Structures are given as C-alpha cells and as structure tokens.
Amino acid sequence: MIADEASLARLMAASQKGDAAAYRVLLAEIRLWLERYFRRRVAPAQLDDLVQEVLLAVHAKRASWDPGRAFLPWLAAIARYRWVDHLRRVYRKAEDELGDHDAIEDSDEEAVMARMSLERLFVHLSAGQCEAIELVKIEGLSIAEASARTGQSESLVKVNIHRGLKKLSALVEKAD
Amino acid sequence: MNRVPHSLIDELAADLAPVRPLRRARGIALVATATLVAVVLVEVIDGFWRGIATGQASPLFFIANGMFAMLGTAAALAAIRMASPQVGNSHEGTRWALAMAALLPVAALVVLGLQGDLGQVAHDPYGFGCLIAGIEFGGLTFVALIVWLRRGAPVSPPLAGTLTGIAAGSLGTFAHGLACPVDTLAHLGSWHVLPVVLGGVIGRITVPPLVRW
C-alpha cells in the first residue's frame, strides 16, 4: 500500500529539514509509486534504471518542492521529465515484454492519479507520433520494422518520433 | 516488485542535508529587487523623463509602459513558478499578456501602414539606442531568473528560457521607458517592443543549457 498524498507531503517536509529516517521511508514509498507509475510505459528491463534516475533527481532537487503545495504533482512532473529524457536515450530490447498490469488501483486518489498519468500525455500526440514512439522507443522495434508495421515511411517514422518527443517534453506539466 | 537496491536509498539518506525549500515569495522578491535596481540605474544613468510628472507624457506613454510592466510581471511569475514543477501548472496567463502587448506593434503597423509612413520607424534617430538600453536594463532580471531556475527543477527548459527572456526584455524596456521622452506610437510600438522579442529569442537559445538538469 503506497502512502497517501498527506503522508508523503509530511515525510517530504521532514526530509527537507534533514530527517534521515523520514527520508528513507519517503524514498521507499516513492520507489513503489514510481514502479507503478512507469509500468506500462517503460520496458521492464529498464524500469529499475528509470526509477533510480528519478530517485536521484528527487534527491538533487528536493528543495524545489514547496511545502505549501501538493507533493504528488511535483513528483509526477519530475517523473515525466525523466521519462521523456529516458525515451530519447534508450531503446528497449526486442525480447522484453511489456507488462499488462498497468491499471491504476482503486483509491480515493484515482482521479488525481489519472490526471497525472503518462497515458494522458499521449492523448496530445497525433496517432502517427503515438504509434512511432510506442513501437520504436517503448517496444524496441527498429525504424524499418516500425515502418513495415505501420505503413509509414522510415523517414516519417523518424520525423514522428522526433516531433512526438519534442511535444511530450513540452507537456510535462500538462494535466488535462 | 522491489528491485531498486536498498543501498541506493541508504546512500541518499546518508547524504541528506537540510535544504531551504524554494518559496515563490522569495523568487518574486529576488526578481523584484533586480528590477528595482534596474529602475534606480535608469534614474542614475539616464534620469527619469521629468515630463511624466509634469503631465507632458501622452496617454500612450502610460499605456505602453504599463503593458510592458504587466507582461514582464506575468512572464517573470510564470518563470518563477517553473522552478517548482507541478503537473497542473499552467502558463496560459503569459500568452494572453503577450497577445495584449502585441497590440502595440500591430497598431503601429496598421496605423503607419495606412498613413504610408512606415519609414518613420527606420529613420528614428533614437530607436537603436532604446533597443540596446531596453536589453541592457533587463540584464539583471535575466540573471536573477536564471539563478532562481537553476536552484529549482524546470521541466521545460525551452519554455523557461523563453519566459525568462520575455520577462527580462519587458521589464528592461519598461525601466528604460521611464527615461525615454519619445512617446509616439511609431517609437514605442517598434523600438520599445524589440527588446521583448529579442529577449525571448535570446532566452530561448541561451537559458536551456544553463537550467537543464
């Protein structure tokens, strides 16, 4: 069970004051939250690396959370930023399988979580961009394979990936 | 799933030191101070236009400089907010302020175009000096915003850079505007707008590498 917004905010506030015990609990909770958050949009083999990257980012930028504001939208913004960065750099190995356990668990915060989800970002991409990014950057197909699968030319696949990632990076704080 | 090593969490916890959270109020105070210093420098270096106090300034003088101040404030607030990222942050307000300020050059273009007098802009002997002064007096605001963004975690560096440049250009041209007695539409709608445009371009190009993390 991942801690709720209020508990996480309390832990973060204590961590900003230097409470190492609270910080250890907070990081463990954040790790669980991130594993669930990234599950569908990152290849399983790369999930740990990405979670670690975000944990390091949280550590380096912990002063940028304002205790007067909600914690999870801050964490989600950092997670999305690192995720887009990750998509730019990493290709998934072909043998990796995407999990089908991405559904957000029922909770009082489900609506809030839905607004912060990675899925919400894809709504803003064109169908071609979405398809190209999913096939090449997440499922790990080559440009040629994605081209054959989608019917897009190889150049178009590249253009769609480039423009799609650029658009995603501009949407990091977008909630709707 | 529990694969991220505990050692990483232990290392990060061991490295923990108290931090001072970024509060918007302090960012606003920093940028306001930088702008205030720029205004004081304008008085010291060029001297405010005394016609402002004696009623010689046209209504357009107040409208134009008021628009620059408002645009600069809106852009600076948005840039300050970007240092503390949140899913749900919106920067739409600056776009509307930018659209509002764009009325000035559009009005100049339409009026001067209809009058066949667009050459007035090119032959303005004070124009280039105002452009340079606007950029120079925005320098402090530019630096202050970069310092703030570097302390934070902007998740859209290109937008943060553009907003930083627009804020610095607008507040710089506003500060210099207090010393400029040329209050015609041709002058204010062109040479005083250019620092905003150039500021945005400069910010878009130079700031992202400085604030990326």
Tell if the CB–CB gap between A73 and B86 is shorter than 8 Å. Answer: yes
Q: Which of A35, A66, A116 sits opposite B84 (nearest CB)?
A: A66
- Measured in Å, how far apart are chain B's first and last C-alpha atoms? 28
The CATH number of the domain holding residue A139 is: 1.10.10.10
- A34 domain residue, yes or no: yes
Question: What tokens does A18 get?
Answer: 């230097």
Q: Which of B10, B19, B85 sits opposite A77 (nearest CB)?
A: B85
- A109 domain residue, yes or no: no
CB A167 within 8 A of CB A125: yes
Asked if A68 and A9 sit in the same domain, the reply is yes
The CATH number of the domain holding residue A33 is: 1.10.1740.10
- A108 domain residue, yes or no: no
Asked if A7 and A91 sit in the same domain, the reply is yes
- CA B186 to CA B119: how far, in whole Å? 10
Asked if A13 and A88 sit in the same domain, the reply is yes
CB A35 within 8 A of CB A74: no
Tell if the CB–CB gap between B86 and A55 is shorter than 8 Å. Answer: no
**Share above pLDDT 90 across residues of chain A, in percent, rounded to a whole number:** 49
Asked if A45 and A129 sit in the same domain, the reply is no
| A166: contact with B, CB 8 A cutoff | no
Asked if A11 and A89 sit in the same domain, the reply is yes
* Domains: count for chain A: 2
CB B42 within 8 A of CB B179: yes
ipTM of the complex: 0.82
Instruction: Using alpha carbons only, give the angle A15, A19, A24 rounded to the nearest 5 degrees.
Output: 75
Q: pLDDT tens, A78-101?
A: 999 999 988 887 654 444 444 444
Asked if A80 and A141 sit in the same domain, the reply is no
Q: Which of B17, B155, B213 sits opposite A18 (nearest CB)?
A: B17
Q: pLDDT tens, A36-65?
A: 889 878 878 888 889 999 999 999 999 999
Asked if A6 and A55 sit in the same domain, the reply is yes
Asked if A35 and A86 sit in the same domain, the reply is yes
- CA B160 to CA B204: how far, in whole Å? 8
Mutation to test the A interface, candidates B2, B87, B91, B204, most A Cβ within 10 Å: B87
User: How far is the alpha carbon of A17 from chain B, nearest alpha carbon, in Å?
Assistant: 5
Gyration radius of chain B's alpha carbons: 20
- CA B208 to CA B213: how far, in whole Å? 9
Asked if A139 and A63 sit in the same domain, the reply is no
- A167 domain residue, yes or no: yes
- CA B204 to CA B213: how far, in whole Å? 16
Local structure of residue A64 (DSSP, 8 states): G
pLDDT tens, N- to C-terminus, chain B (213 residues) = 455 667 889 999 999 999 999 999 999 999 999 999 999 999 999 999 999 999 899 999 999 999 999 999 999 999 999 999 999 888 888 889 999 999 999 999 999 999 988 888 888 999 999 999 999 999 999 999 999 999 999 999 999 999 999 999 999 999 999 999 999 999 999 999 999 999 999 999 999 999 999
Mutation to test the B interface, candidates A48, A58, A61, A82, most B Cβ within 10 Å: A61
- A58 domain residue, yes or no: yes
Q: pLDDT tens, A11-24?
A: 999 999 999 999 99
Asked if A74 and A129 sit in the same domain, the reply is no
- A174 domain residue, yes or no: yes
- A125 domain residue, yes or no: yes
Q: Which domain holds residue A170?
A: 118-176
- CA B50 to CA B53: how far, in whole Å? 6
Query: Maximum CA pair distance of chain A?
Result: 55
Asked if A27 and A86 sit in the same domain, the reply is yes
- CA B68 to CA B56: how far, in whole Å? 20
Query: Computed from CA positions of residues A55, A59, A64, A68, in that sequence, does the dihedral angle turn out positive or negative?
Result: positive
Q: Given this model, what pLDDT does residue A106 score?
A: 46
SS3 content of chain B, % helix, strand, coil (to 5): 70, 0, 30
CB B145 within 8 A of CB B57: no
Taking only residues 93 to 132 of chain A, the set having a beta carbon closer than 8 angstroms to any beta carbon of chain B reads 115-116
Asked if A28 and A60 sit in the same domain, the reply is yes
> Which residue do the tokens 């399983």 mark?
A44
- A106 domain residue, yes or no: no
